[in-house]
Amino acid sequence: MSETPKKTPITAIKGTKDILPSEVKKWQRVEAAARNVFDLYGYGEIRTPVFEATELFEKGTGETSDIVTKEMYTFTDKGGRSLTLRPEYTPSVVRAIIEHRLYLEAHPQRFFFFGPMFRYDKPQKGRYRQFHQIDIEVFGEKDPAVDAEIVEMANALLQKLGVSGIDILVNSVGCRICRPDYHRRLRAEAENIFDLLCEDCQRKTVTNPLRIFDCKVRGCRDASESLPKITDFLCPDCEEHFRAFCSHLDRFGIAYRIEPRLVRGLDYYTKTTFEFVTQSLGAQDAILGGGRYDDMMKQFGGPDMCGIGFAMGMERFLAVVPDRDEPATFLYIVHMGEEAKRISMDLARFLRGRDIGCLIEYKTRSLRNQISRASKLGAAWIVIVGEDEVREGRYQLKNMATGEQRAYSREEIVTAVRRPG
Work out whether 119 is an interface residue with ligand AMP (CB under 6 A).
yes
For ligand AMP, the binding residue among 86, 179, 292, 316 (CB under 6 A) is 316
For ligand AMP, the binding residue among 97, 166, 234, 288 (CB under 6 A) is 288
What is the CA 421 to chain-centroid distance, rounded? 32
For ligand AMP, the binding residue among 190, 311, 374, 390 (CB under 6 A) is 311
Work out whether 158 is an interface residue with ligand AMP (CB under 6 A).
no
Backbone φ and ψ of 275, nearest 5°: -150, 145
Considering only 40-48, 177-185, 220-228, 307-315, which stretch makes contact with ligand AMP by CB under 6 A?
Answer: 307-315
Residues 348-387 that bind ligand AMP (CB under 6 A): none
Work out whether 133 is an interface residue with ligand AMP (CB under 6 A).
yes
- The secondary structure element, H or E, covering residue 84 is strand 82-85
For 31-34, the CB contacts below 8 A with 24+ separation are 31/114, 31/134, 33/157, 33/160, 33/161, 34/112, 34/114, 34/134, 34/157
Work out whether 286 is an interface residue with ligand AMP (CB under 6 A).
yes
Question: Considering beta carbons, is residue 293 or 332 the nearer one to ligand AMP?
Answer: 293
For ligand AMP, the binding residue among 60, 62, 289, 307 (CB under 6 A) is 289
What is the CA 98 to chain-centroid distance, rounded? 24
**Closest distance to ligand AMP from the beta carbon of 312 (Å):** 6
Residues 253-272 that bind ligand AMP (CB under 6 A): 265
Question: Considering beta carbons, is residue 271 or 316 the nearer one to ligand AMP?
Answer: 316
Distance, in Å, from the CA atom of 373 to the CA atom of 393, rounded to the nearest integer, reads 25
- The secondary structure element, H or E, covering residue 94 is helix 90-99
Question: Considering beta carbons, is residue 59 or 119 the nearer one to ligand AMP?
Answer: 119
State the amino acid at position 57 in one-letter form.
Answer: F
Distance, in Å, from the CA atom of 421 to the CA atom of 401, rounded to the nearest integer, reads 10
Backbone φ and ψ of 384, nearest 5°: -105, 125
Residues in contact with ligand AMP by the rule CB under 6 A: 88, 119, 121, 127-128, 131, 133, 265, 286-289, 311, 313, 315-316
